[in-house]
Amino acid sequence: MHELAIAQEIVELACERAGGADRRIVRIVLRVGKLSAVLPDALRFCFDAATAATAAEGASLEIIEADGLARCRACGAEVALERPFGRCACASSDLEWISGDELEIRDVEVI
């Protein structure tokens, strides 16, 4: 489960961004693409363990899931993707990802 290592890195980055030992993180907002190979439920499961004994302990985690989108190299049409593979209406599977593979911290709420 690589989500634990990802959760730990997110918490570390958020704590650095919070900037001070007396500041507490109350909420972290992430954008996770459906094509990123990161499972939001597994990330939520690991989040409490990753925040233990940090400035983010007790913080809430909000995950915004980003849809996958690709462009067909054969006809140029845009194709919505739920998985890292798909097929265009023209029957081509030669797709270039446009979005959906992101994993980014969108907001860190600090008090």
Token couple for 78: 């845009």
Distance from C-alpha of 20 to C-alpha of 24, rounded to nearest angstrom: 9
| pLDDT number for residue 93 | 96
Sign of CA dihedral 45, 4, 30, 67: negative
At residue 27, the 3 state secondary structure works out as strand
| pLDDT number for residue 21 | 65
Q: Which residues of the chain have pLDDT under 50?
A: none
| pLDDT number for residue 19 | 80
Ranges of each domain in the chain? 3-68+100-110
Token couple for 77: 């049409």
CB distance 70 to 86 below 8 Å: yes
**What pTM was computed for the model?**
0.85
What CATH number does the domain located at 3-68+100-110 have?
A: 3.30.2320.50
| pLDDT number for residue 1 | 60
Question: pLDDT tens digits, residue range 10-26?
Answer: 999 999 988 866 889 99
